[in-house]
Structure 1
Amino acid sequence: MNAFFSIYNLSRRTKFVVYLVLTILPALYALPASGETAPTLGTNAHFQAGMYRKLLKRINDFDLRSLRTGVVWGRVERQPGAYVWNDPSLLATTALSRQERIGSLTVYPGNKLFEGGDTVVTDAGIASFAAFVGEMAAKFPEIETFQIGNEFNSTSFVKGPAKEMSPLERAHLHVRHLAAIDAQPTMADRRILGVSAHSVAAGYIWEVLDAGGADYIDAVSLHPYTSRPEQIPDELEVLRRHPKMRGLDIEITEFGTTDVDGAPSFFWKHMCMMAAANVRRAVWYPLEVRGDNYVPVFGPDLKLTPTGRAIELAGRVVSGQPTEVFRPDPFTYGCTFGETLAVVWGAPRSAKLLNPAITALEPDLSEREGAELSLSRDSVLLLQSDGAPIDLATDLELGPHHVLADSFDQFVRPPAGEDAMTGSTGGFDRFLRRDDEILPLGTCPGQEKPHTPWRPYLCNAEAPRFALSPRSVVLGGKLELSHVYHAQTDGSVMVDVELGVHEISSDGLGVSVVAEDGTLERKLASGAETLEFGPIHLLDGQTVTISIDPNQSAAGDRSLLRVRVRDAIQDNALQ
């Protein structure tokens, strides 16, 4: 049996017993997630569309496990209460479940027999859906985990009245589904994956928990398509601030990209950051070509793609392995998986291997060209040893970089009672200014109301249309956003403001940089550009303030945004 499920796939009843034991040791139970284990790795297979014998053979050839697939209710229950277990859409599920290769089965709450095929909302329809899931559990005892619905906070997989509901209203419908399924006798020893959210939409997820959903689920299922991998640990930390998240695992049941060239690095970054975030299971999307341009494990010829080669290796040597997270500074990221594989990336700088037993590879496992190594924000440096343990702190010598502060790498989401000017401000103090009034920025969970980001962001209740995310800003009015950098030593600095002003902005954005001595420089931005300011000389403890304003009109003022402060002298030395 998959090792992950022998350890973590406990039913809600078993988890309750564990909880009672752990409450005897509250200090231990309250420890934060350590991120010492890589998530169990799976892939998304579309077997509910039918049987693919050649694909099944490839799955067996590479011993792929923890697959996520689904079932179409209407293909199995064609008459009320009558189930067709030999439907072609179930043949692959039957074969893979017997081999214990299925990590979770997604069930969708729609069948034309009930409510015309709309997402069921009536008590009778929900009871029929729950009965079907119970029958599936009885038919497939080897499948331990059932995911209820898919991306239920979006309108992509719902129909009828449910589609007209707000996400928070739909959260309550989801809880009704969960409660009915949990009551099925055959589900007593199964794990239920609930929430089923697109993005780390903590506002929607918290609504599910507050409506009672936590009583019926073992884990929260997320698809963090709107998150950068470097932000996942902090975003999940915000999600876990809700007391009812205690005891619930987090599974990323879809992650993937349409960027063919960048997909291998995208994959490794996610595996590292999900380990740091204590994610229990991570499922790449998709296994095979799906026609939506997402990069698959197997290409049209059913051979491993370059990304598939990385995923196949990770399935063998990374999945579920002890992981050591490497963060020598806020601008550098890395992980050692087990003892013989590591990844590292971050602010551009030279790198040198000090251990001859370690080989540097491209993210897709191909050989690197040239002897010189360097770090990059976009592409990971993949390191593999011949069996000797890798220690990134001693086996990799990193050269200097010029970054002093970075609004992306040091983005903060303050806990309740703090704001982005108090506590740990992560390189910058951040606040809004409206005329002469300062508006502090706190954390909003994401999707807590209409027209807000679907992930935790910075906000202020008095500026309801404003939203600051790690790589973007919506001003939403005559407001000025400020980032204040505090010098840690005497020296000269350069300021870079990277923007991507949306085309709907009526007259662009103004960008001002003010030194503590009153020196002011202001530039206008439209479209995609990086504005450079400086050099600016600062003494230890002095500040420089970078402000974004709406220019003459605030109409349509939204933009990509990244602010960096770099050492001017070090910058010249590295060129």
Structure 2
Amino acid sequence: MPGIFRLLCVGLAAAIGAGASCLPVRAEEPFRLGVQTHFAQGWSLGLIDRMAALGVSTFRDELTWARSEGADGTLSFAGAENAAIDRALRRGIAPLVLFADRHPAHDGGGTPASDEAQAAFARYVAAAVRAHAPGLAEIEIGNEFNGGDFVRGAFARDPAGNLARLVGAVRRRLRDEGLRVRLVCSGTHSVAIGFLDRFLAAGGARDCDAISLHPYRDHPEGLELELARLGRVMEAHGGRLPIVATEFGKWFDDPDEAPDYMLRMVAILGAAGVDAAYWYALVDEPWWPNMGLLDADLAEKPAADAFRLAQRLLAFGRPRAAGTSARQRIYYFGASRRAAIAWGAGGRLSVSGATAFLDTRGRPVARPATLSDRPVVILGKDLRISVTGASPLADSRYDFGRAPWHYFSEGPDGRLRPLSWIDWQWSSFLGRPDLRPLAAYFDGVTAALFADGAHRVVERFVVPAGGRLRILGEWSSDDAGPEGDGAEVLVRLDGKVLARGRVAGQPFGLDRTVEVRAGQTLDFVVGPGRAPGGDAVRRRIRIQRAD
């Protein structure tokens, strides 16, 4: 539809590499930031007032089929979760209502898979939409059905195909009853490209208005790569659909880590063209006690400050990427250049037009001299931000899956074989179908031990120009079982071992300066120990000029 859509991803193609592309979004549409709530699980309706005070404009919650449909098939929507929807609408807070549960009267209490159960589910969904009309404008079908925790019964034999059939049943029922509502589909845990490919092929591409997912991850960087790859999969099924991140967040051991994480995710998601994102959750829960904006006593946590600041920044407009590489994360909010956020792998930070520098909680900070992993928020007029001077040549956190890195497996015979993307029911990784669980992924690598011997993961950097390089690396593991003996780490220059270590309970660190020539190869190799277990290794590798 030429003229209707434009890409709000300035500089993103340069930042994420050749072949990158962004999701189309309507030029006038903002990026919406909401929260996940659990009124259906008994939360107090008084929290709606807290949501309004935090600047929440949209929230995600669910309705419960078993409480809505009686034994005689009568449908009623008078429970507390329904009252929460209506009360929020009166406060101007838009609900995204999730439908993903089961009913004991249908398919033996399993996730609806039979035609009868799916028709009953569609009838229930349509009745709920009608009960909350005209305010309810957006619903979601499915919640992490790519995993085993949320599906039961026959549905589990083909979750992607059965979900597509279920969505189709809901779409037909809504159409037959003349109900107009945006239908958001799937709610996958992570950017589950393999699962979504099957779901779209089975009918999801036809019946969904948008695709939803939960991009949980340790570090936000690299998410734009996964979203771009998902966009190309959608194109293969007839066209790109909008994306909604209906949950995002992280298990934070330290609540002070949440603000940096939230603002980085908001910038990356918004610049990639995602429609909206919902922070998990408004309040800490007993089973997820460190992810909320509020603690269990409803006191504000550092994440609440970041949420307010994000809403303030988003008022300027959707984030737009302006860095010249994946290691330079510079995002302007809107076109006015009055607000921005910047972080990255290093280099001298040059800023003109700034009137204030803030941390991710909105507190004033000194003007930073260099780009770092800690984001800085910049306010001003006609901002101009760039990175000059020396910056790292490579950083595995920022560069994973793209130049200047190359990825291989190394078998017992020493032969190198290239790794390629493997799409499955969870996040994609670089690997080979015949060597699983061997993998390279955004936060680490996993080696494998088979009957024929050790199979290692090789992350290769090709030296672009001669000189002196400083190599900084750390490898760690929290995966070693009682029988495992950890993993072996090798660093090689043109095949010659520069450093060797073992990750088994304690991390292995490296800080080494070497003289190199253009075209030489630096290989960072992780191999399995002699016993199974502990072969999944987290790593951060940085290479910079030492001249």
TM-score class normalised by the smaller sequence: 0.7 to 0.9
The 1-side partners of 2:225 and 2:31 are apart by 17
Give structure 2 stretches of 5+ with no counterpart.
6-19
Aligned partner of 1:406 among 395, 407, 415: 395
Q: CA deviation at 1:68?
A: 1.2
Partner of 1:331: 327
Q: CA deviation at 1:109?
A: 3.2
**Partner letter of residue 159 of structure 2?**
R
Q: CA deviation at 1:262?
A: 0.7
- Paired residues for 1:204-353 under 5 Å: 204-226=195-217, 228-242=219-233, 243-244=236-237, 246-259=239-252, 260-291=255-286, 292-300=288-296, 302=298, 304-318=300-314, 321-338=317-334, 339-348=337-346, 351=349, 353=351
Aligned partner of 1:359 among 356, 369, 382: 356
What secondary structure is seen at the aligned counterpart in 2 of 1:335? strand
Partner of 2:46: 54
Greater CA drift, 205-214 or 52-61: 52-61
CA contact (8 A) 2:163 2:186 kept: yes
Partner of 1:545: 523
CA contact (8 A) 1:431 1:481 kept: yes
Q: CA deviation at 1:352?
A: 6.0
The 2-side partners of 1:20 and 1:179 are apart by 30
Q: CA deviation at 1:314?
A: 2.3
1:445 aligns with 2:423: yes
**Partner letter of residue 422 of structure 2?**
C
Q: CA deviation at 1:285?
A: 1.3
The 1-side partners of 2:4 and 2:80 are apart by 45
The 1-side partners of 2:41 and 2:491 are apart by 56
Instruction: Give the root-mean-square deviation of aligned CA atoms.
Output: 2.9
1:429 aligns with 2:401: no
The 1-side partners of 2:541 and 2:73 are apart by 60
The 2-side partners of 1:38 and 1:227 are apart by 26
Greater CA drift, 321-330 or 199-208: 321-330
Tell me the TM-score normalized by structure 1: 0.82
What secondary structure is seen at the aligned counterpart in 1 of 2:232? coil
Q: CA deviation at 1:363?
A: 0.9
The 1-side partners of 2:56 and 2:476 are apart by 41
**Partner letter of residue 337 of structure 1?**
F
Q: CA deviation at 1:199?
A: 0.6
Q: CA deviation at 1:21?
A: 9.7
**Partner letter of residue 48 of structure 1?**
A
CA contact (8 A) 2:220 2:268 kept: yes
Partner of 2:131: 139
Q: CA deviation at 1:197?
A: 0.3
What secondary structure is seen at the aligned counterpart in 1 of 2:186? strand
Aligned partner of 2:120 among 120, 123, 128: 128
- Paired residues for 1:55-94 under 5 Å: 55-94=47-86
Q: CA deviation at 1:131?
A: 0.2
CA contact (8 A) 1:232 1:277 kept: no
CA contact (8 A) 1:80 1:113 kept: no
The 1-side partners of 2:522 and 2:309 are apart by 47
CA contact (8 A) 1:112 1:118 kept: yes
The 2-side partners of 1:489 and 1:554 are apart by 40
The 1-side partners of 2:177 and 2:143 are apart by 22
Change (3 A) 1:134 1:372: closer
Greater CA drift, 333-342 or 177-186: 333-342
CA contact (8 A) 2:358 2:378 kept: yes
Tell me the TM-score normalized by structure 2: 0.85
The 1-side partners of 2:313 and 2:187 are apart by 28
What secondary structure is seen at the aligned counterpart in 2 of 1:408? helix
Identical positions, percent:
24
Partner of 1:451: none
**Partner letter of residue 456 of structure 2?**
E
What secondary structure is seen at the aligned counterpart in 1 of 2:229? helix
Q: CA deviation at 1:280?
A: 0.8
Change (3 A) 1:50 1:441: same
Aligned partner of 2:149 among 131, 140, 156: 156
**Partner letter of residue 217 of structure 1?**
C
Q: CA deviation at 1:128?
A: 0.9
The 1-side partners of 2:400 and 2:409 are apart by 16
CA contact (8 A) 1:19 1:247 kept: no
1:481 aligns with 2:457: yes
What secondary structure is seen at the aligned counterpart in 1 of 2:448? coil
The 1-side partners of 2:416 and 2:399 are apart by 22
Q: CA deviation at 1:351?
A: 4.2
> In the TM superposition, what whole-angstrom CA distance separates every residue of 1:71-99 from its partner, at most 9, and x where no partner exists?
11122222343122322331111222355
The 2-side partners of 1:522 and 1:537 are apart by 15
| Number of residue-to-residue matches in the alignment | 513
CA contact (8 A) 1:134 1:187 kept: no
The 2-side partners of 1:404 and 1:351 are apart by 16
Partner of 1:189: 180
Partner of 1:43: 35
The 2-side partners of 1:432 and 1:324 are apart by 36
What secondary structure is seen at the aligned counterpart in 1 of 2:330? strand
Partner of 1:173: 162
CA contact (8 A) 1:496 1:532 kept: yes
Greater CA drift, 60-69 or 208-217: 60-69
CA contact (8 A) 1:498 1:562 kept: yes
Aligned partner of 1:111 among 103, 106, 123: 103
CA contact (8 A) 1:181 1:187 kept: no
The 1-side partners of 2:190 and 2:43 are apart by 30
CA contact (8 A) 2:352 2:383 kept: no
The 2-side partners of 1:567 and 1:148 are apart by 51
Q: CA deviation at 1:183?
A: 0.8
The 2-side partners of 1:552 and 1:254 are apart by 40
> In the TM superposition, what whole-angstrom CA distance separates every residue of 1:232-278 from its partner, at most 9, and x where no partner exists?
11011121221127231110001112321111111100011112221
Q: CA deviation at 1:221?
A: 0.7
1:562 aligns with 2:534: no
Change (3 A) 1:275 1:89: closer
Partner of 2:375: 380
Q: CA deviation at 1:302?
A: 4.4
The 2-side partners of 1:515 and 1:51 are apart by 58
CA contact (8 A) 2:422 2:433 kept: no
What secondary structure is seen at the aligned counterpart in 2 of 1:560? strand
Partner of 1:532: 510
CA contact (8 A) 2:193 2:423 kept: yes
